[in-house]
Amino acid sequence: MRLLENNIQSYDFYIDKENMRDEIVKGLSAPVKTISSKFLYDHRGSELFEMITELEEYYPTRTEMKIFNEKIQEITMAVGDVHTLIEYGSGSSNKIKALLHNFTSLKEYVPIDISREYLFQSSLELAMLFPHIMIKAVCGDYTAPLTLPLEANGKKVIFFPGSTIGNFEQVEVRNFLMKSAKLLDDGDGFLIGVDTKKDTVTLERAYDDAKGITAAFNLNLLTRMNRELGANFNEDQFEHLAYYNEEKGRIEMHLESQRNQTVKIGENEFFFQEGETIHTENSYKYSIGQFHTMALECGFKPRKVWTDAEEKFSVHYLEK
């Protein structure tokens, strides 16, 4: 544990290169080359994603924020008095600021993220804005087992905005929800953003914008592997690819090789055929009914859901 300010503590549970190298080598060695979307979020990747959230095409952040702006009093009343707020993510958005401002009984806030620099930067900003709240910044993988530095008493609520739940495979969603339920006691809650099903054009524009910011975000993964793992990817020989897979109900993002080539990561070599891809992200879309069914199967009771007028996005409050 490291003290940063009077009301902030940092906990570092993540070993970057060892975890990253093993997972990426395993993913690139699979018959269908895949890299977890969590590795898109180094410091530069996090900056690029913040730029994506401001794009005209990218509706999720804007729509979710509108729901929070319009429904914050309803959300606060539905959630009730909260002692501990746990956020899966870095806490850089205005959504967490709205909750920290309106949850007047809150005593501690625990953001969890693998992007160390971005996490601590955003936590320092929040510590100055909310000096009465103890902030415990945890650098770690919230999809993996973690022992969190929580106080024993008081109501706990997990906050997971931005529809990041859509990045998980179907089995992973259920495991993740069940793992999250184990962090909570009866009466505790889970406040989560979920992107809804909609037309293909709207979805594909959101993940392949005209300015090329999403492409830069995806390609930055290659830059990161070169820098941190000693890989020799050539960004000019890969292109960003994003499309809606209607059968599976998800947006898929890929990096497509533009020619036959071999790439090295240390002693490991990976051959790419022209047109072969690295699958870097999925973003599943769920109807309200679909998500409620999953939540019930994983130990949660759906208590309230809020949407925008067009039902482009949903915010759910689940209770353990």
Residue-wise pLDDT for 38-55, tens only, equals: 899 888 998 999 899 999
Residue 3 has pLDDT above 70, yes or no: no
In this prediction, residue 231 has a pLDDT band, given cuts at 50, 70 and 90, of: very high
For residue 22, tell me if it sits in a domain: no
The mean pLDDT of 4-18, rounded to a whole number, is 73
Q: Looking at residue 15, what is its pLDDT? A: 63
Q: Is the pLDDT of residue 29 over 90?
A: yes
Say yes or no: 240 and 184 in one domain.
no
Residue 261 in any domain: the answer is yes
What is the model's pLDDT at position 32? 96
pLDDT score of 1? 54
Q: Are residues 243 and 305 in the same domain?
A: no
- For the segment 183-208, the average pLDDT, to the nearest whole number, is 96
Lowest mean pLDDT among 84-93, 203-212, 301-310: 84-93
Contact between 106 and 83 (Cβ < 8 Å):
yes
238-245, strands of its sheet edge to edge: 238-245, 250-257, 277-284
Paired with 305 in beta bridges are 316
The conformational region for residue 277 under phi > 0 = left, psi -120 to 50 = alpha, else beta, is beta
What's the pLDDT score for residue 184?
94
Q: What is the mean pLDDT of the chain?
A: 92
Structure tokens at 193: 């953003």
Look at residue 302 and tell me if it is in a domain.
yes
- Which pLDDT band, with edges at 50, 70 and 90, does 59 fall under? very high
Query: Do 258 and 307 fall within a single domain?
Result: no
Shared domain check, 101 and 46: no
Question: In this predicted structure, what is the pLDDT of residue 5?
Answer: 58
pLDDT, position 309: 94
| 181 and 68 belong to one structural domain | yes
88 assigned to some structural domain: yes
Domain match, 48 and 96 both:
no
Q: What is the pLDDT of residue 91?
A: 63
**Is the residue at 23 inside a domain?**
no
Q: What's the predicted TM-score (pTM) here?
A: 0.87
User: Is pLDDT of 17 > 80?
Assistant: no
Residue 212 CA to its chain's centroid (Å): 21
Res 149: pLDDT: 85
Kindly tell me if the per-residue pLDDT of 2 is higher than 70.
no
Q: Quick: pLDDT tens for 252-273.
A: 999 999 999 999 999 999 999 9
Same domain? 222 vs 164? no
Nearest to 126 by CA among 110, 147, 113, 142: 110
Q: What range defines the domain where residue 276 resides?
A: 31-53+209-284
- How far, rounded to the nearest angstrom, does the alpha carbon of residue 26 sit from its chain's CA centroid? 22
- Confidence at residue 144, expressed as pLDDT on a 0 to 100 scale: 82
Phi-psi region of 268 (alpha: psi -120 to 50; beta: other; left: phi over 0): beta
Same domain for 257 and 272, yes or no, is yes
Least confident of 102-116, 186-200, 305-319: 102-116
Exposed e or buried b for every residue in 126-136, given b needs 16+ CB within 10 A?
Answer: bbeebeebbbb
Same-domain check for residues 94 and 166: yes
Q: Choose among 45, 35, 43: nearest CA to 217.
A: 45
Domain assignment present for 231: yes
Domain check: are 149 and 69 in the same one? yes
The per-residue pLDDT for 16 is 61
> Does residue 262 sit in the same domain as residue 299?
no
CA dihedral 247, 253, 257, 262 (to 10 degrees): -110
Would you say residue 144 lies in a domain?
A: yes
In this model, does residue 307 exceed pLDDT 90? Answer: yes
CATH code for position 108? 3.40.50.150
Give the pLDDT band (50/70/90) at residue 303. Answer: very high
Within 10 A of 43 (CB to CB), how many other CB atoms are there? 13
- Structural domain includes residue 228: yes
Strand bridging mode 301-307 / 313-319: antiparallel
**What value, to the nearest 5°, has the Cα angle with vertex 53 and ends 71 and 55?**
115
Domain count, the chain: 2
Structure confidence at residue 121 (pLDDT): 87
Burial of 198 (0-12, 13-18, 19+ CB in 10 A): middle
Measuring CA to CA, which residue among 92, 76, 183 is closest to residue 137?
Answer: 92
pLDDT digits (tens, 9 = 90+) for 135-181: 999 998 888 887 888 887 899 999 999 889 999 998 999 999 999 99
Residue at 194: amino acid letter: V
**Quick one: 62 and 47 in the same domain?**
no
